[in-house]
Amino acid sequence: MKYKTSGTCSNLIDIEMDGTKVKSVKFNGGCNGNGKGIGALIEGMEARDVINRCKGIRCGMKSTSCPDQLAKALEKYIKEH
């Protein structure tokens, strides 16, 4: 799944799922190291667990963040599947 982000430095999240588990995540743009770190940390996790941990995280004065956008993408995935 490809998810176009809003309000973050990254502009796209490429998510590969294995049923309800996150297989891989790649952020396009934004902080390269943080994007890779998030991907490594959540690999193999249940989507709902990622949502519970990442939803609502803010980046500085922004109302969202890359982890928050990831949570929104996973919510969309769950809703559609």
Q: What is the pLDDT of residues 42-65, one digit of tens each?
A: 999 999 999 999 999 999 999 999
pTM for this entry: 0.95
Question: What pLDDT is recorded for position 14?
Answer: 98
Amino acid at 64: T
Question: What pLDDT is recorded for position 38?
Answer: 97
pLDDT digits (tens, 9 = 90+) for 5-40: 999 999 999 999 999 999 999 999 999 999 999 999
How far is residue 79's CA from residue 57's CA, in Å, rounded to a whole number? 21
Residue 17: φ, ψ to 5°: -110, 155
Question: What pLDDT is recorded for position 40?
Answer: 97
Question: What pLDDT is recorded for position 69?
Answer: 98
Number of domains into which the chain is organized: 1
Domain extent at residue 42: 2-80
